[in-house]
């Protein structure tokens, strides 16, 4: 089989990349190893309303709920409220990703791309040293899909990058390991996302509760890998749910890893582009990666289309991708990496102190950066090394 | 040798992403371990469900 571009992985990043390239007239093949796109879910499904709407028209079919804001709890229970329009990148819509991912893949098919499920990339095909497509297994058979460019959108596993010589493997401090239950409990507030901080609850991470309507919510937590141990996320989550909502009815379980390494050195190689979690583009503080993957996917689709029509699909021809994502989503990812490295070192006492200091301020209209600015003004000594992030 | 408890594994792929030598593969709902494994134990530590274990010496 021969095409212009083969995209590996039909998550939000891969689908947006494939769709964008197909809309520009390229012959595109999108392969996905699962037999059902979007399932099983590995996500808490929270996204910013404004940012999502700038990329795709929201469809009630894949929106589970809309929230008014977020509540943040310190280890001792002190809390603050952030409103939806300002807590911006963190909350807004809670999606139904099983439907969302599928809808994006269907849009991609409608745009002209060939979508192949149950098709797993095994390796890159090389000819005269250059990448010339992927070898894949489809329904148990080996097939070659020849292409000028391979877009690796293969998520946390990120093997395409490694086959291309980019070391994407995550060290323990570069990953949040997570567990989540979709549960029903009367105590769930349908209008607010909630975040609980604390080294006992989730070392180097946090517990989240994202409502999905009618007292259902994705309740989960992430632990920084360097402080995790075998099975810790599941154990900690069970403890949280058993102590805080003993009557909860659990109807689904999710486990997974979110890259929090921040920008990696290189996301392109000769004939290869990495997108989304595969390029480690998820946010190191929030762990959010859907929208970054989608935005990077669009940039990749555009750059690859130009590269294919100009005939230069080598590193030079793809360089615009590297530049464009670093100048857009890359800046925030880099800033949030510094923030994460600092926050995972804070003790519960520090976290309580920070939360107490901000009680008398009105933060309901602030975004994360605005809030950080206030926190630094109120706690100059503790937060001295973060000054550069709000300049 | 790395062993995978298939009754515990949640097929999330986190272990695949952390393996420094690309020795793991997630095939839809199960994990395969190749001979390249250097028994560093990173995947064991990071598995959210505790499905992995490192047993015996390399031989
Ligand atoms: C517990 C948890 C909670 C999260 N919560 C949020 C949240 O609230 N908001 C948010 O924005 N983000 C969240 N994230 C992160 C978010 O899920 C990811 O950032 C997002 O899915 C990345 O999209 P992607 O397209 O890059 O990769 P993915 O969605 O992971 O898609 C990759 C696809 O590639 C396929 N694939 C892999 N290897 C191959 C191969 N060899 N051949 C063929 N196909 C292959 C996979 O099967 C998969 O379908 C969360 C993650 C976890 C684990
Ligand atoms: S990290 Fe654990 S649960 Fe996830 S796929 Fe690997 S063995 Fe299974
Ligand atoms: S023990 Fe180390 S080398 Fe072996 S599979 Fe696990 S992470 Fe890879």
Question: Do the Cβ atoms of A169 and B27 come within 8 Å?
Answer: no
pLDDT per residue as tens, chain A (391 positions): 999 999 999 999 999 999 999 999 999 999 999 999 999 999 999 999 989 999 999 999 999 999 988 999 999 999 998 876 655 555 699 999 999 999 999 999 999 999 999 999 999 999 988 899 999 999 999 999 999 999 999 999 999 999 999 999 999 999 999 999 999 999 999 999 999 999 999 999 999 999 999 999 999 999 999 999 999 999 999 999 999 999 999 999 999 999 999 999 999 999 999 999 999 999 999 999 999 999 999 999 999 999 999 999 999 999 999 999 999 999 999 999 999 999 999 999 999 999 999 988 888 778 788 888 899 999 998 998 888 887 7
Whether A230 and A373 map to the same domain: the answer is no
User: Which residue lies with its CA nearest to atom 51 of ligand 1?
Assistant: A43
Pocket test for ligand 2, best of B31, B44, B48 (most atoms within 8 A of CB): B31
Q: Give dist(CA A82, CA A356) in Å, integer.
A: 15
Whether A185 and A308 map to the same domain: the answer is no
- Nearest by CB to B17, which of A228, A229, A257? A257
Secondary structure class of B31 (helix, strand, coil): strand
Question: Do the Cβ atoms of A155 and B52 come within 8 Å?
Answer: no
CATH number where A54 lies: 3.30.9.10
Nearest chain A Cα distance for residue B56, angstroms = 18
Tell me phi and psi for residue A52, to 5 degrees.
-65, -45
Pocket test for ligand 1, best of A6, A30, A42, A103 (most atoms within 8 A of CB): A42
Top-confidence residue, A364 or B8 = B8
Whether A164 and A303 map to the same domain: the answer is yes
Ligand 3 atom, smallest distance to B18 CA: 7
Whether A134 and A189 map to the same domain: the answer is no
Q: Please state at what angle helix A290-310 crosses helix A315-327, rounded to 10 degrees.
A: 150
Task: Give ipTM to 2 decimals.
Answer: 0.95
Choose one of A259, A285, A317: the last residue of a domain.
Answer: A259
- Nearest by CB to B46, which of A42, A172, A254? A172
Model confidence band, residue B59 (pLDDT cutoffs 50, 70, 90) = very low
User: Which residue lies with its CA nearest to atom 34 of ligand 1?
Assistant: A9
| Nearest residue in chain B measured CA to CA from A167 | B20
Concatenating the DSSP letter of every residue in A94-143 gives EE-HHHHHHHHHHHHHHTT-EEESSEEEEEEEEETTEEEEEEEEETTEEE
Question: Do the Cβ atoms of B44 and A257 come within 8 Å?
Answer: no
- Nearest by CB to A234, which of B17, B49, B52? B49
Question: Do the Cβ atoms of A225 and B22 come within 8 Å?
Answer: no
Q: Give dist(CA A290, CA A287) in Å, integer.
A: 9
Mean of pLDDT values over B32-43: 97
Choose one of A259, A275, A295: the last residue of a domain.
Answer: A259
CB within 8 Å of A58: residues ≥ 6 apart: A49, A52, A93
Q: Please state at what angle helix A290-310 crosses helix A329-343, rounded to 10 degrees.
A: 140
Residue A108 at interface with chain B, using a CB cutoff of 8 Å: no
Instruction: Please report residues of B whose CB lies closer than 8 A to that of A175.
Output: 14, 17-18, 46
Q: What is the pLDDT of residue A73?
A: 96
Whether A136 and A79 map to the same domain: the answer is no
A220 lines ligand 1 (CB under 6 A): yes
- Nearest by CB to B46, which of A159, A175, A253? A175
Give the total residue count for chain A: 391
CB within 8 Å of A240: residues ≥ 6 apart: A196, A201, A207, A219, A221
Residue A172 at interface with chain B, using a CB cutoff of 8 Å: yes
Give which of A33, A119, A139, A157 to mutate to test B binding, by max B Cβ within 10 Å: A157
Choose one of A301, A318, A336: the last residue of a domain.
Answer: A336
Joined tokens for residue A218: 């994705």
Considering its fold, how many domains does chain A have in total? 3
Whether A36 and A115 map to the same domain: the answer is yes
Q: What is the pLDDT of residue B6?
A: 96
Tell me phi and psi for residue A256, to 5 degrees.
175, 175
Whether A120 and A139 map to the same domain: the answer is yes
pTM over 0.90: yes
Whether A53 and A188 map to the same domain: the answer is yes
CATH number where A148 lies: 3.50.50.60
Inter-chain Cβ pairs, chain A and chain B, closer than 8 A: 97
Q: What is the pLDDT of residue A89?
A: 53
Mean of pLDDT values over B47-52: 98
Whether A141 and A241 map to the same domain: the answer is no
Residue A317 at interface with chain B, using a CB cutoff of 8 Å: no
Instruction: Please report residues of A whose CB lies closer than 8 A to that of B22.
Output: 159, 162, 169
Joined tokens for residue A346: 């804070």
Give which of A276, A236, A240 is closest to A259, Cα–Cα: A276
Q: What is the pLDDT of residue A156?
A: 98
Ligand 2 atom, smallest distance to B13 CA: 5
Whether A346 and A216 map to the same domain: the answer is no
Alpha carbons within 13 angstroms on the beta-carbon side of residue A346 total: 22
* A9 C-alpha to ligand 1 centroid (Å): 9
Instruction: Please report residues of B whose CB lies closer than 8 A to that of A255.
Output: 10, 12, 14, 48-49
Joined tokens for residue B44: 């064991």
Q: What is the pLDDT of residue B49?
A: 98
Whether A251 and A199 map to the same domain: the answer is yes
Structural domain harbouring A209: 48-94+172-259
Q: Give dist(CA A90, CA A85) in Å, integer.
A: 10
A265 with A280: CB under 8 angstroms? Answer: no
Joined tokens for residue A28: 């595109």
Q: Give dist(CA A294, CA A11) in Å, integer.
A: 9
Q: What is the pLDDT of residue A30?
A: 98
- Domains annotated for chain B, with CATH where assigned, are 2-54 (3.30.70.20)
| Nearest residue in chain A measured CA to CA from B12 | A256
- Nearest by CB to B49, which of A120, A175, A231? A231
Whether A109 and A233 map to the same domain: the answer is no
Joined tokens for residue A246: 């003993």
């Amino acid at each position: 089989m021969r095409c212009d571009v083969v995209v590996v992985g039909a998550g939000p990043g891969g689908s947006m990349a494939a769709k964008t390239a197909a809309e520009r007239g390229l012959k595109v093949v999108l392969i996905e190893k699962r037999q059902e796109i979007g399932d099983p879910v590995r996500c808490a499904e929270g996204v910013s309303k404004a940012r999502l709407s700038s990329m795709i028209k929201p469809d009630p079919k894949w929106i589970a709920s809309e929230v008014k804001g977020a509540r943040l709890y310190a280890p001792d229970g002190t809390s603050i409220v952030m409103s939806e329009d300002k807590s911006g990148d963190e909350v807004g819509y809670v999606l139904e990703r099983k439907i969302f991912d599928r809808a994006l893949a269907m849009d991609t098919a409608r745009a002209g791309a060939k979508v192949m499920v149950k098709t797993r990339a095994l390796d890159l095909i090389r000819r005269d040293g250059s990448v010339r497509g992927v070898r894949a297994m489809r329904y148990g058979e080996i097939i070659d899909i020849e292409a000028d460019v391979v877009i690796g959108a293969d998520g946390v596993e990120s093997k395409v990058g490694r086959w291309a010589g980019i070391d994407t493997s995550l060290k323990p401090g570069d990953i949040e390991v997570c567990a989540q239950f979709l549960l029903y409990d009367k105590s769930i507030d349908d209008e607010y996302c909630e975040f609980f901080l604390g080294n006992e609850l989730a070392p180097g991470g946090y517990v989240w509760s994202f409502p999905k309507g009618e007292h259902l919510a994705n309740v989960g937590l992430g632990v920084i890998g360097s402080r995790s141990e075998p099975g810790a996320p599941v154990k900690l989550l069970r403890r949280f749910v058993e102590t805080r909502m003993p009557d909860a009815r659990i109807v689904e379980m999710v486990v997974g890893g979110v890259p929090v390494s921040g920008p990696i050195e290189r996301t392109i190689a000769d004939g290869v582009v990495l997108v989304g979690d595969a390029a480690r583009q998820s946010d190191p503080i929030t762990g959010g990666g859907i929208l970054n993957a989608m935005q990077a996917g669009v940039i990749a689709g555009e750059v690859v289309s130009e590269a294919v029509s100009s005939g230069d699909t080598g590193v030079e021809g793809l360089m615009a991708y590297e530049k464009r994502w670093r100048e857009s989503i890359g800046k925030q990812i880099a800033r949030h990496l510094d923030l994460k490295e600092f926050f995972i070192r804070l003790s519960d006492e520090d976290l309580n102190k920070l939360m107490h200091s901000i009680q008398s301020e009105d933060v309901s209209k602030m975004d994360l950066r605005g809030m950080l600015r206030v926190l630094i003004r109120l706690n100059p000594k503790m937060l001295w090394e973060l000054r550069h992030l709000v300049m | 040798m790395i062993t995978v408890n298939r009754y515990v594994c949640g097929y999330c792929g986190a272990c695949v992403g952390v393996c420094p030598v690309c020795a793991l593969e997630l095939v839809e709902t199960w994990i395969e371990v190749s001979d390249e494994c250097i028994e560093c134990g990173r995947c064991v530590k990071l598995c959210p469900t505790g499905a992995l274990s490192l047993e015996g010496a390399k031989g």
